[in-house]
Amino acid sequence: MTHSHLTDAEKKELSGIAKAIVAPGKGLLAADEPPKTMENRFSSIGVENTEENRRAYREVLFTTDKSISANLGGVILFHETVYHKTSDGIPFIKLLQDIGIIPGIQADKGVVPLAGTNGETTTQGLDGLAERCKEYKKAGCLFAKWRCVLKIGDGMPSELAVKENANVLARYASICQANGIVPIVEPDILADGEHDLEACIEASQRVLSAVYKALLDHHVYLEGTLLKPNMVIPGYSCEKKYTPEQVAVATVTVFQHTIPVAVPGIAFLSGGQSEVVATVNLNAINKYKACKPWALTFCYGRALQTSVLKAWKGKKENVPAAQSVFMHRAKCNSLASVGKYEGEDAA
């Protein structure tokens, strides 16, 4: 077997957390937008990007009716949110724990240029990661996320970018597990560009096979991990159009070729797909009849929040409407995660 440094009890804890996050009908909310990203989100609705407004917005999300926990197994937080409280003084982490949603943390420190490539990147944040994991675990976070970004087109993703990003994801995952934290491994192949579905199939296959080779080389315990990949879709500027069924076949086939059955769950990023398209594609993936030994669910940022932000607009009187929009999207995606979404009105 492998040279795992983890005890049986540690492995059991990690695999238990991973399974609970992606239990049937559950997915994740990615609410870990850094303050800089919140600037864009808030400017679209005319809200000033202050720490208090970011806190108030997350309070809207986390105080949604507790029945939302049937649809959400985990929420990813940004550092400052870990220590935020509701206006009544309840720590967000406690709020989530009390309704059975597992809090997690964005563990990386952002994307940086990879010298010698055509504008490709790697992700930094390994320095001090073990200490940060200890701190976050003490605060109640049981899992983490680390995002690497790859691009398609003109010799990309290059071998260097594929190898470097696979390796840094593996180092991160290994450090998380040594500190009792389930790593969500996120190799995000951007859908920007004119490339067709075939190009995304090819890139996804190269990236995912390199990621699992690196995870195994680093003795990462796969049962105690989750994957957060892109769906296998054509570039947004591709002229040729594909059906959700074609996306489902491409996505599942690539995964069959590259993702070990030991991995308990795959939670997709939405990556700029509209809310409804992200739900429809997830549903098609789950409806497609094939060997799929993993939970296939959602870990959406924009596709769970775009209409919530629009409904909220920073106003107290809009909170109930915003929460009901959030509940609706979570429910639609929960249905899609078991292949039972039948349209917006049926949810």
| Active-site hit among 131, 228, 289, 292 | 228
Diameter over CA atoms, the chain: 58
Q: Closest residue to ligand 13P, Cβ-based?
A: 301
Determine which residue in the list 21, 30, 38, 77 makes contact with ligand 13P, applying CB under 6 A.
Answer: 30
Query: Site residues for ligand 13P, window 143-172 (CB under 6 A)?
Result: 147
The answer to whether residues 169 and 185 touch, using CB atoms and an 8 Å cutoff, is yes
Query: Site residues for ligand 13P, window 268-297 (CB under 6 A)?
Result: 269-271
Question: Does 302 sit near ligand 13P (CB under 6 A)?
Answer: yes
Question: Does 103 sit near ligand 13P (CB under 6 A)?
Answer: no
CB of 11 to ligand 13P, least distance (A): 26
67 DSSP assignment: G
CB of 36 to ligand 13P, least distance (A): 14
Q: Which helix (H) or strand (E) holds 205?
A: helix 197-217
**Does 186 qualify as catalytic in the annotation?**
yes
From 301, 292, 311, 251, select the one nearest 273 (Cα to Cα): 301
Taking residue 202's Cβ as centre, other Cβ atoms within 10 Å add up to: 15
- In degrees and rounded to multiples of 5, residue 65 shows phi and psi of -45, 140
Is the CA virtual torsion 284, 224, 81, 319 positive or negative?
Answer: positive
Site string for ligand 13P, 190-229 (x = CB under 6 A): ----------------------------------------
* Cα gap 270→205, rounded to integer Å: 19
Cβ proximity to ligand 13P, 270 vs 279, nearer residue: 270
Counting residues that bind ligand 13P (by CB under 6 A) gives 10
**Does 66 qualify as catalytic in the annotation?**
no
Single out the segment in contact with ligand 13P by CB under 6 A; choices: 162-170, 190-198, 231-239, 300-308: 300-308
Determine which residue in the list 57, 300, 312, 326 makes contact with ligand 13P, applying CB under 6 A.
Answer: 300
With helix as H, strand as E and coil as C, how does 73-111 read?
EEEEECHHHHCCECCCCCEHHHHHHHCCCEEEEECCCCE
Residue spans of beta strands (DSSP E) within the chain? 27-31, 72-77, 102-106, 111-113, 121-123, 143-150, 182-189, 226-227, 265-268, 295-300
Determine which residue in the list 108, 120, 186, 275 makes contact with ligand 13P, applying CB under 6 A.
Answer: 186
Q: Which positions lie near ligand 13P, rule CB under 6 A?
A: 30, 147, 186, 269-271, 300-303
Which active-site residues does the annotation give?
186, 228
